[in-house]
Amino acid sequence: MTDRVIALVDAGRRKPLPPVADVAPGLTRDRLGRPMRDLRISVTDRCNFRCTYCMPREVFGADYRFLPHEQLLSFEEIARLANIFASQGIEKIRLTGGEPLLRRNIERLIEMLAAITLPDGKAMELTLTTNASLLERKARALKDAGLKRVTVSLDALDDPTFAAMNDAKFPVAKVLAGIDAADAVGLAPVKINMVVKRGVNEHSILPMAKRFKGSGHVLRFIEFMDVGATNGWRMDDVIPSSEIIRLIGAQMPLDPIDPNYPGEVAERWRYRDGSGEIGVISSVTQAFCRSCTRARISTEGMLYTCLFATTGYDFRALLRSDKSDTEIRAAVAAVWGARDDHYSEIRSAQTAPQRKIEMSYIGG
Ligand code: SF4
């Protein structure tokens, strides 16, 4: 396991902005021709869980220094930036963290983002990824504020395995109650993300599949990834999605189905008996970089163009300067235009230990 001293952002990890030229509002494409469609915004670097693949307690322990509030983007700054990104082609915003429901008054931010109208007149599609620890209590308010859907992280159905993955003394029953509450208020279908780690929770694959089959919710299995620099990732701990599909398909036959939209992260499989679908997210064994349309804003306003980035661009400085929206939009277009990320295609034993930005800081 890596050392405890993690300076998440230091001078060395900020890239200078590429040359900026005036740009008209409209779709921006990167060097691989990929449009910018999805914006993931991390609203806090804090979490009440310590998932071993994301925020291991050995590193994010009791004396870990989280970002002070004044360094976080304010709701007004997030909304301003989201409007600028919307003018450049962003159609969907996913709120992440850490655990986004820990950010006080997040409903207020959701109201502000839900009010964004896209250039084609449509409303911004607003989703959120949560560990559901607060979802049962907050589901109604989130829905009323304008949230469309939620994705819930759940890595097992039995408390001991759940704790082995999330290092949190938190009952699975409360996560399931959060999913039911989201369903009851119309934040559905709920997507459920299960990270699978060999030797820890692969025995939960079939019970999870059976639990959510026919529920209307979509369970997705995520290959264990070398995100950040602290989760001790090894290829040996990865269970390829093909193995998961074979395991489930042997008992509950599956058929592949087309993506809902270009760039969808999960590969979709439908139960042959018509009782719903599952997904697999295979960043390690089946890279999907060629259709990646995701940009990420960190809790303190750094723009990253890949989940496995090692450096980012400081947009908080621009927001807190006298730069106009037009100038900031030009900077967004310049950054995306210069993008050629495709980490999952070049992943190797040499790249895995690179000091990549932590997932708990920029969201999954
Ligand atoms: S590795 Fe980077 S470029 Fe590839 S899909 Fe993931 S975020 Fe996109």
How many distinct structural domains can be found in the chain?
A: 1
Ligand 1 probe mutation, 289, 293, 297, most atoms within 8 A of CB: 289
Among candidate residues 325, 210, 220, the one with its CA nearest the CA of residue 264? 220
CA 347 to ligand 1 center in whole angstroms: 11
Amino acid sitting at position 150: V
Does residue 294 lie in a domain region?
yes
Does residue 274 lie in a domain region?
yes
pTM reported for the whole predicted model: 0.93
Closest C-alpha to ligand 1, atom 5: 289
Residues with CB under 6 A from ligand 1: 283, 288-289, 292, 294, 306-308, 341-344
Own/partner contacts of 268-277, CB < 8 Å, gap of 24 or more, are: 269/245, 271/213, 275/213, 275/214, 276/212, 276/213, 276/214, 276/215, 276/216, 276/217, 276/218, 277/218
So what's the pLDDT on residue 3?
A: 43
- The token pair at 163 is 């704790």
Residue with tokens 């962003």: 90
| 343 Cα nearest atom in ligand 1 | 1
Nearest-angstrom CA–CA distance, 19 and 291: 25
Q: Which residues face 223 on adjacent strands?
A: 196
Does residue 198 lie in a domain region?
yes
Does residue 7 lie in a domain region?
no
CATH code: domain of residue 162: 3.20.20.70
CA 343 to ligand 1 center in whole angstroms: 6
Under a CB-based contact definition with an 8 Å cutoff, are residues 229 and 355 in contact? yes
CA 202 to ligand 1 center in whole angstroms: 25
DSSP 60: S
CA 289 to ligand 1 center in whole angstroms: 5
CA 308 to ligand 1 center in whole angstroms: 7
Ligand 1 probe mutation, 40, 290, 306, most atoms within 8 A of CB: 306
So what's the pLDDT on residue 71?
A: 96
- The token pair at 245 is 């599909």
Domain boundaries, position 177: 36-362
So what's the pLDDT on residue 5?
A: 43
CA 184 to ligand 1 center in whole angstroms: 34
Does residue 136 lie in a domain region?
yes
Does residue 68 lie in a domain region?
yes
Q: pLDDT 10s digit of each residue in the chain, 364 long?
A: 344 444 444 445 677 777 776 666 677 899 999 999 999 999 999 999 999 999 999 999 999 999 999 999 999 999 999 999 999 999 999 999 999 999 999 999 999 999 999 988 999 999 999 999 999 999 999 999 999 999 999 999 999 999 999 999 999 999 999 999 999 999 989 999 999 999 999 999 999 999 999 999 999 999 999 999 999 999 999 999 999 999 999 999 999 999 998 889 999 999 999 999 999 999 999 999 999 999 999 999 999 999 999 999 999 999 999 999 999 999 999 999 999 999 999 998 888 888 899 999 998 7
Compute the radius of gyration of the chain from its Cα atoms: 20
Does residue 13 lie in a domain region?
no
Does residue 337 lie in a domain region?
yes
So what's the pLDDT on residue 1?
A: 39
The number of residues making up the chain comes to 364
So what's the pLDDT on residue 10?
A: 45
